[in-house]
Structure 1
Amino acid sequence: MKKLKIFFTANVLWDIYIFRYGVIKALIGDGHEVVVVAPVDERIDFVEELGIKHIPINLSMRGVNPLKDFNLFLQLKKIYKMEKPDIVFHYTIKPNIYGTLAAKISRVKSVAILTGLGYSFVEGGIVSNIAKLLYRFSLKYSKEVWVLNSDDKEALIKQNITSSEKIFILPGEGVDTFKFSPKEKVENSELNFLMVARAFYDKGVREYVEAAKIIKNKGYKVNFLFLGALGGNAANGVDKLKMDEYVKEGILEYLGHRKDVDAVINASDCVILPSYREGISKVLMEAASMEKPIIASNVTGCKEIVDNGINGYLVNVKDSDDLADKIEKFIGLSLDERISMGKRGREKILREFDEKIIIEIYRRKLWNLR
């Protein structure tokens, strides 16, 4: 196969590192030139880690200022015309919209990867309607549109955003089953429940907190940990003041934002994600791969990973009481039952979501799209 110049463009450099590191490393190993396009992030140095080029861009992640968004389009158009990549993989909403248009004008092939439509996108609202309008216009110019689950595919078709023929379902972004493998750990004297997510309420933070209160009020001596970046000033974000309040009340232990997610998962007994909607949850896959039982909302992007009662429990979305019931049910399991649940989760990940499967899909698609 001809060696290609492949671009990965997203709004957060950290996301490229966390979700696509294995794919990028494999493509470099195949002899391709890979370039990452995203804003600067001091936590990540792709040049140092993989020896690949990083082109920084400026963008407003959640803003709707048309001048700033047009500036993103101009930045990407200039980069693509100068660099002349063979293909660009776009991730996240603004690169998908403005990057696809920039690639079209620059005569560059591109693929739009919608890693999750998001709860607000599906539910509607002014911003959501604007996004849908822009998607309908821009996605006409991508070679393919990838989604991570069948529900997102149906939503795009139903809302006439793109055609069925153009959509491909990528079965998640895979998990490194070697890195996220079962590891020996000291058994905790108290059970540790862990939530890993950005601190946004549509990730289920409120339900996690309320369920933790219910469990603690019943007298159970267990710990509820939270790992992930704070939501800052975002409308649905949990800021430092609010997180400090949860910690001060003794509801949560906040672990901050760390790179050693595997070590934190290993120290936990069960991973929880009460999200309102996902593309497909990376952390649930990682936890299951490490033989940790998982509890998650019965929604798109979570239900594909949790086999209820087999490798974890599904709960009703936005239902703190149901979440507390499932946590209490888990507490009541014997150690052998928890171990068996975790082992079944690992088997499912190896069968359906191993990163090796995703890498082969990228390779096959590059051959077809070249």
Structure 2
Amino acid sequence: MLHSFRQGGMENMIGQMAWRLSQSGFKVIVCALVGSDDFKHRLPPGTPVLELQKRPGLDLRCALRLRALIRELKPDVIHSHNWNALVYSLLALALGLNRTPLLHGEHALLYGWERSPWRLRLRRLFYARCDIIHTVSQGQINDMAALGLTRNLTLRVIRNGVDTLKFSSLDKEKCRLSLGIPPHAPAFGMAARYVPEKRHNLLLQAFLKIGKIFPTARLVLAGAGGNCEAATNELVTSHPFADRIIQLGHRDDMTTVYNALDLLVLTSTSEGMSNVTLEAMSCGVPVLMHATCGSEELIHPGRNGSLAAMTTADDVAAAITALLEQPDLLRTMGGAAREFIEQEYPLAKTAADYMAVYTALGGKNLTTAEGR
């Protein structure tokens, strides 16, 4: 169960897990509150995608439709992802007096109004009904504990993983040629939806300084969608170095995109365990991350990537400049990043962790009605 099944890091992980689970005898059903798009084609053939067409606001009819689906499908486990899916899963179960085990996943750091006292009280109440709460990093659990959200709960960390066969090193010059990036120009970029917490504006502001220091540098932006896309496009159009900003939109060949970069930059403030970071590191590309939740579990500064407190555009510019001035260090960190991901974050480990939790909750012959 999830809000929608459209392009995103969490949704991409759901698709990959669906393949692994179905190959191991699990039946997977995706239930999306507000719908899906062509991204559902990343699921195994024949995977049902049930769209509840939830209306804006609290939609009790949507909860009733979900209750009817649960009665019909009789899932062994319901797996909700993030807040909206949790609310409607609990409503449906309460309306049907159903005791189907509920596994709830949190995939990002709580921020903004999510940390307000009344919202935290609601989370404590709703979490108490879940059989297991899982996060994608230990940092998330630490943050939840500091907010008083973990008391008397059964908690699990199920870290995201990456397909190291798909995301691997390619010929950089060929990748750059396909994307229109000069072969010897410093190239850095971001891959993300256009939403406030990703902070594209900060990176664009930083490029005002970086572009002067490195006259041939290219800033690459991959991704599409989100409520800041139009505003970001305007910033790009009016940027003094607009001719050196490459906007790729949604891409199905992210391995090519990563391999074209010298450095991936993640200025986001709300990651739980960034799939983009995992994928880039698996391709042998070092990552500069904002020092936030989950970053310390992925990045060993100076060895396989870099961490920085990127609060202002000046912070971002300084951190990127320092790394672009050391191309040999970037290459060394990229090699170490690949080795680290191969050892610590293989996709098979993530799938095995999910299977173990499903089996513990619902028995051996499982149908998982979830966002996966």
Q: Where on the TM-score scale, by shorter chain, does this alignment land: which range?
A: 0.7 to 0.9
- Is 1:90–1:111's contact at 8 Å kept on the other side of the alignment? yes
Match of 2:246 in 1: 253
In the alignment, structure 1 segments of 5+ residues that lack a partner are 1-8, 233-237
2:100 maps to 1:108: yes
Match of 1:168 in 2: 156
Match of 1:99 among 89, 105, 110: 89
Match of 1:159 in 2: 147
- Is 1:247–1:254's contact at 8 Å kept on the other side of the alignment? no
2:131 maps to 1:143: yes
Match of 1:90 among 80, 99, 107: 80
Q: How many residues matched?
A: 346
Match of 1:3 in 2: none
- Is 2:18–2:44's contact at 8 Å kept on the other side of the alignment? no
C-alpha separation in 1, matches of 2:42 and 2:346? 26
- Is 2:63–2:92's contact at 8 Å kept on the other side of the alignment? yes
Q: State the one-letter code of the partner of 2:280.
A: A
C-alpha separation in 1, matches of 2:91 and 2:145? 21
- Is 1:277–1:302's contact at 8 Å kept on the other side of the alignment? no
- Is 2:133–2:153's contact at 8 Å kept on the other side of the alignment? no
Q: State the one-letter code of the partner of 2:108.
A: G
Provide closer, same or farther for how the CA distance between residues 74 and 259 of structure 1 changes in structure 2, counting only shifts above 3 A. farther
Residue 366 of structure 1: SS of its match in structure 2?
Answer: helix
Match of 2:21 among 10, 24, 27: 27
Q: Deviations over 1:147-175 (max 9, x none)?
A: 1223321333343334254111122x211
- Structure 1 residue 130: Cα displacement: 4.6
Match of 2:48 in 1: 53
- Structure 1 residue 17: Cα displacement: 4.4
Residue 22 of structure 2: SS of its match in structure 1?
Answer: helix
- Structure 1 residue 219: Cα displacement: 4.6
Identity over aligned pairs, percent: 22
Residue 128 of structure 2: SS of its match in structure 1?
Answer: helix
Match of 1:4 in 2: none
Q: Deviations over 1:271-298 (max 9, x none)?
A: 1101112111110110000000111101
Match of 1:179 in 2: 166
- Is 1:215–1:328's contact at 8 Å kept on the other side of the alignment? yes
C-alpha separation in 1, matches of 2:83 and 2:301? 32
C-alpha separation in 2, matches of 1:196 and 1:180? 15
2:284 maps to 1:291: yes
Q: State the one-letter code of the partner of 2:122.
A: L
Q: After TM superposition, what 4+ stretches of structure 1 lie above 6 angstroms from structure 2?
A: none
Match of 1:44 among 26, 39, 43: 39
- Is 1:277–1:301's contact at 8 Å kept on the other side of the alignment? no
Residue 255 of structure 1: SS of its match in structure 2?
Answer: strand
Q: State the one-letter code of the partner of 2:168.
A: S
- Structure 1 residue 206: Cα displacement: 2.3
Q: TM-score, normalised by structure 1?
A: 0.86
Match of 2:180 in 1: none
2:190 maps to 1:202: no
- Is 2:5–2:37's contact at 8 Å kept on the other side of the alignment? no
- Structure 1 residue 328: Cα displacement: 1.2
- Is 1:298–1:316's contact at 8 Å kept on the other side of the alignment? yes
Q: State the one-letter code of the partner of 2:309.
A: N
Provide closer, same or farther for how the CA distance between residues 46 and 253 of structure 1 changes in structure 2, counting only shifts above 3 A. closer
C-alpha separation in 2, matches of 1:29 and 1:196? 30
Match of 1:74 in 2: 64
Q: State the one-letter code of the partner of 1:140.
A: A
Q: State the one-letter code of the partner of 2:355.
A: R
C-alpha separation in 1, matches of 2:37 and 2:305? 36
Residue 298 of structure 2: SS of its match in structure 1?
Answer: coil
Matches within 5 A, 1:173-252: 173-186=160-173, 188-232=183-227, 238-249=228-239, 250-251=241-242, 252=245
Match of 1:276 among 269, 288, 292: 269
Superposition CA RMSD, Å: 2.2
Residue 44 of structure 1: SS of its match in structure 2?
Answer: helix
Q: State the one-letter code of the partner of 1:137.
A: L
C-alpha separation in 2, matches of 1:311 and 1:48? 32
- Is 1:276–1:318's contact at 8 Å kept on the other side of the alignment? no
Q: State the one-letter code of the partner of 1:225.
A: V
2:333 maps to 1:341: yes
C-alpha separation in 2, matches of 1:160 and 1:292? 37
Q: TM-score, normalised by structure 2?
A: 0.86
- Is 2:221–2:247's contact at 8 Å kept on the other side of the alignment? yes
Provide closer, same or farther for how the CA distance between residues 157 and 327 of structure 1 changes in structure 2, counting only shifts above 3 A. closer
2:303 maps to 1:313: no
Match of 1:13 among 2, 5, 11: 5
Provide closer, same or farther for how the CA distance between residues 270 and 209 of structure 1 changes in structure 2, counting only shifts above 3 A. same
